[in-house]
A and B are shown apart, each in its own frame.
Chain A
Amino acid sequence: MAAKKILLVDDSKTTLMMERAILEKRTSYQCVTAADGLEAVSKASEEHPDLVLMDVVMPRMNGFEACKKMRQQPATREIPIVLLTTRGEESYMEAGFQSGCNDYLTKPVNGDELIKLLESYLGE
């Protein structure tokens, strides 16, 4: 069975390196990356990931907009999207869910919490 693929989206190289390190060490998920929302929309169509883990505040296109775009495209409409941000306020989370995300995580990322959430969508 092919490994599940996760699209990691963040303009912070450090965050991408950390997420990749967590997932490669502790899971069998395959990782692909994008540096902003625009690249994420394009990569999601090309790579058909099983899940998208995406930052909100990014240049060119933010996570909310990218989420809306993916929900409008038939090829990416059903992909689970988890948004990741420093802001945990209720209004911010509400905006995330309105953009079509499935879940929300706040930074700093807790490895255990991240894996538990991903497994709830993808299985172990």
Chain B
Amino acid sequence: MSGLDASSEKNQMTASTAGDRENDPRLEAAQKRLRESVGQADALDAIREIVANLLGCEEIGLFTVGQGKSGLLWSFGIDPQQHGTLDTFGTGALECVLQGQYHIAQVAHEGQNHRAEPALRVFVPICLNGNTVAVLVMLRLLPQKLGFDEADIRLVKLLSRETGRALFERSASAEA
């Protein structure tokens, strides 16, 4: 027998406070790591480390967006042949993500093969100067991680806010 419990959440991004960072070493470390990254390759390493080691997601894709199109910039664990654009995820949530809202769809499976279908899909808008310039997609949690909690959401918001500068602004000036 299999059961399905699905919930999804959409939220407008808000900045985490200094108090949040003070109380959560993960936020402090993630912010420091992104801000100290040098060049795009290091910024991508920082994203991979944060998503895999702090959030516990095994598959990551970063898609640039603009002029109604999207393209895979970089991935870890996600098949680039299968997911070359955001459209391949076939979700209606993308419209909201492109407008600056994150989207988390968490599906709990019972009696099914967890490996067959990702039990978690997270879409995070990467914002720069008020525009969504990329979307970070995270799929599949580590087996020991049961879901996303409030602290994870704060980390998702930080990624949305800080990643654009690390990837596209500071990287450009570092590599110039």
Do A and B assemble together?
Answer: yes
What 1/0 mask marks residues of chain A from 6 to 18 whose CB sits below 8 Å from any chain B CB? 0000001111011
Bound: A109/B29 CA distance, A: 13
Whether, in the assembled complex, B10 has its beta carbon less than 8 Å from a beta carbon of chain A, the answer is no
Bound: A108/B148 CA distance, A: 12
Q: Which of B54, B58, B144 lies in contact with A88, CB distance below 8 A?
A: B144
- CB neighbours (8 Å) of B29 from chain A are 14-15, 17-18, 21
Main secondary structure of the interface of A (DSSP, over half): helix
- CB neighbours (8 Å) of A14 from chain B are 29-30, 33, 46, 49-50, 53-54
In chain B, positions 8-67 with a C-beta closer than 8 Å to chain A are 25-26, 28-30, 32-33, 46, 49-50, 52-56, 58
Give the nearest-CB partner of B55 in chain A.
A108
- CB neighbours (8 Å) of A25 from chain B are 25
CB of A57 to closest CB in B, whole Å: 11
Most buried by A among B25, B28, B50, B52: B25
Q: Is the CB of A21 within 8 A of B49?
A: no
Whether, in the assembled complex, B145 has its beta carbon less than 8 Å from a beta carbon of chain A, the answer is yes
Interface residues on A, range: 10 to 19
- CB neighbours (8 Å) of A116 from chain B are none
Most buried by B among A15, A21, A108, A111: A108
Most buried by B among A12, A15, A17, A18: A18
- CB neighbours (8 Å) of B53 from chain A are 12, 14-15, 18, 86, 107-109
Count B-side interface residues using an 8 Å CB cutoff.
Answer: 20
Bound: A87/B142 CA distance, A: 8
CB of B77 to closest CB in A, whole Å: 12
Q: Is the CB of B49 within 8 A of A15?
A: yes
Give the nearest-CB partner of B23 in chain A.
A25
- CB neighbours (8 Å) of A109 from chain B are 53
Q: Is the CB of B142 within 8 A of A18?
A: no
- CB neighbours (8 Å) of B80 from chain A are none
Q: Is the CB of A86 within 8 A of B25?
A: no
Whether, in the assembled complex, A106 has its beta carbon less than 8 Å from a beta carbon of chain B, the answer is yes
What 1/0 mask marks residues of chain B from 133 to 167 whose CB sits below 8 Å from any chain A CB? 00000000011110000000000000000000000
| Inter-chain pairs besides A18-B30, A108-B54, 12 sampled, C-beta below 8 Å | A13-B49, A14-B30, A15-B49, A15-B54, A17-B28, A17-B32, A21-B29, A22-B25, A86-B52, A88-B144, A107-B53, A108-B142
When A and B form their complex, which 10 residue pairs have the shortest distance between CB atoms, in order from nearest? Answer: A21-B25, A18-B29, A17-B29, A14-B49, A12-B49, A108-B56, A14-B33, A22-B25, A88-B144, A15-B53
